[in-house]
Amino acid sequence: MFMLVNCSNCRTPLQLPPGGARSIRCAICQAVTQIGDHRNAPPPQHHAPMMQGPPPPPSPYNHAPPNPPPNPHGRKKAVIVGISYRFSRHELKGCLNDAKCMKYLLINKFQFPEASILMLTEEERDPYRIPTKQNMRMALYWLVQGCQPGDSLVFHYSGHGSRQRNYNGDEVDGYDETLCPLDFETQGMIVDDEINASIVRPLPHGVKLHAIIDACHSGTVLDLPFLCRMNRSGQYGWEDHRPRSGVWKGSNGGEVISFSGCDDDQTSADTSALSKITSTGAMTFCFIQAIERGHGTTYGTILTAMRAAIRDAGSSGGSLGDGAVTSLISMLLTGGSVSTGGLRQEPQLTACEPFDVYAKPFSL
C-alpha cells in the first residue's frame, strides 16, 4: 500500500517512496515537506469492522522501478492514456484503439516489458487505472519515479486537448495548453505547467523521455523550450519558446522529445475522419505507420513522413503498409485502407535542446 502526504505549501498529494523518507519535494511548487509533520498527512480513513466483498486491487503506482528488475541497458517504462469520454457530448471514437495500438508497438517493436506499461482507459477494471485527473497525475509521477541513467520512458496520450488564457506571461502565444482527463468537467484540466513540472524538470542526465500526444492544441503541451518549425519541403528551424520570465522549462539534464498531433492553435482530426467503420487517431496512426514503413531512422524522417501522410491523405487516400502493428490497425479498422477526408493538422516536434533532426537517430 502506498502512502500519500499533502504538500505543506500547495496541498498536492505527494507519493512517498516505498522505503519511506524524512522529507519530500513537491514537483509542482518545489516546496519541501517534512514527513514527520503529521499535520500534512491526509485524514485517517475509518472502516467498518467487517469489510464486504473482495479487497480493492493494489495500486499500480506503489513500485519504482517496475518489474522486471533493471538490466545494464536501462529500464523501459511507459504510461499510455486513451480516453473516449463515453456517453458524454465530448465522445471520441478512436482513443481506446490508439492506446491498444501504441501498447502493441512498444511491446513488439521496441521490447518494452508489458509489466512496465501502465494503461489508463475507461475499459480498465482497476479503479486506479481509470483516466481521472488524480490517476493521471499519479501515473505521471510513477513514470519518472526512481528513474536512472539509461532508462527510456514513454508517455502516450490520446484524448481531448484544450487551452486557456495564460496570465503570467510565460507563453509565447499567450495560452497554456491542457489535457482533458475523463473527469475534467468537474475536476478541471491538467495544465502544461504541471505536466512540465511532473515529468520534464525532474529528469536527470542519462534518462530519455518521449511523449506522443494525440490531442488538439498539443504543440507545446509539455512546455519544452524549443519547437521545430518545419515547412512542407522538409526545411526546418528551431523556435525559442523559453518564457520571458527566465524560468527554465527544460529537464535536469535528461533528454525529452515530444511528438504532438498539431500546432497549439490547431485541432486534431476527429478519429472518424480516418475510417467510416472503426477509428484510430490521425496522429497516432501516422506515427505508427511511419515506424512500420521504415521511416523511423531519425526524428526528421518520422516527422516528414507523418506530415506527408496527413497532408496527402485527403487527395490520394492512405493505405496501411505491411507489418504486425499495421496489421493490428487493419484488424481494428476492419479494412485495409484509410480515407482521411482531408485532415488539416500538422504534427509538431518539441525538445529540451535543438538538434539536427535528420542526423539524430530515433530510438525508444
Is residue 21 within 8 A of residue 102, CB to CB? The reply is no
Indicate if 160 belongs to the active site. Answer: yes
What are the angstrom distances between the C-alpha of 28 and each of 9, 24, 43, 188, 242?
A: 10, 12, 22, 16, 18
Q: 304, 317, 312: which is closest to 232 by C-alpha?
A: 304
More confident residue, 205 or 66: 205
Which one of the listed residues 216, 228, 262, 286 is annotated catalytic? Answer: 216
Instruction: Give every strand in the sheet of 255-260, ordered side by side.
Output: 117-121, 76-82, 152-158, 208-214, 255-260, 348-351, 226-230, 236-240
DSSP string spanning 117-176? EEEEETT-SSGGGS--HHHHHHHHHHHHTT--TT-EEEEEEES-EEEEE--SS--TTSEE
Q: Is the pLDDT of residue 77 over 90?
A: yes
Highest CATH level, class, for 74-270: alpha beta
Band (pLDDT 50/70/90 cuts) for residue 295 is very high
- Confidence (pTM): 0.75
Band (pLDDT 50/70/90 cuts) for residue 112 is very high
Q: Is the pLDDT of residue 73 over 50?
A: yes
Q: What is the pLDDT of residues 144-201, one digit of tens each?
A: 999 999 999 999 999 988 876 665 656 566 677 899 999 999 999 999 889 999 999 9
CB within 8 Å of 313: residues ≥ 6 apart? 338, 339, 340, 341, 342, 343
CB within 8 Å of 39: residues ≥ 6 apart? none
Q: 268, 285, 144, 272: which is closest to 218 by C-alpha?
A: 268
Q: What is the pLDDT of residues 220-246, one digit of tens each?
A: 789 899 999 998 889 999 999 888 878
Packing angle between helix 324-333 and helix 95-108, nearest 10 degrees? 160
Give the helix/strand (H/E) hosting 95. helix 95-108
Band (pLDDT 50/70/90 cuts) for residue 321 is very low
Which one of the listed residues 7, 26, 147, 160 is annotated catalytic? Answer: 160
In this structure, of 38-47, 79-88, 332-341, the range with the lowest mean pLDDT score is 332-341
The pLDDT value given to residue 333: 42
CB within 8 Å of 2: residues ≥ 6 apart? 15, 16, 18, 59, 61, 62
Residue 336: exposed, middle, or buried by beta-carbon count in 10 A (0-12, 13-18, 19+)? exposed
Place of cell 486491487: 57
DSSP string spanning 295-360? --SBHHHHHHHHHHHHHHHHHH-EE--SSHHHHHHHHHHTSSEE---------EEEESS---TTTS
Pick the most confident of 3-17, 32-46, 331-345: 3-17
Question: Phi and psi for 273 in degrees, rounded to 5?
Answer: -70, -20
Q: Tell me the mean pLDDT in the region 37-43.
A: 47
Indicate if 216 belongs to the active site. Answer: yes
The pLDDT value given to residue 45: 47
Q: How far apart are CA 216 and CA 159, in angstroms?
A: 8
The pLDDT value given to residue 270: 43
Q: How far apart are CA 343 and CA 334, in angstroms?
A: 21
Q: How far apart are CA 21 and CA 8, in angstroms?
A: 15
More confident residue, 219 or 340: 219
Domain boundaries, the chain: 1-44, 74-270
Q: What is the pLDDT of residues 52-72, one digit of tens each?
A: 566 777 777 765 544 444 455
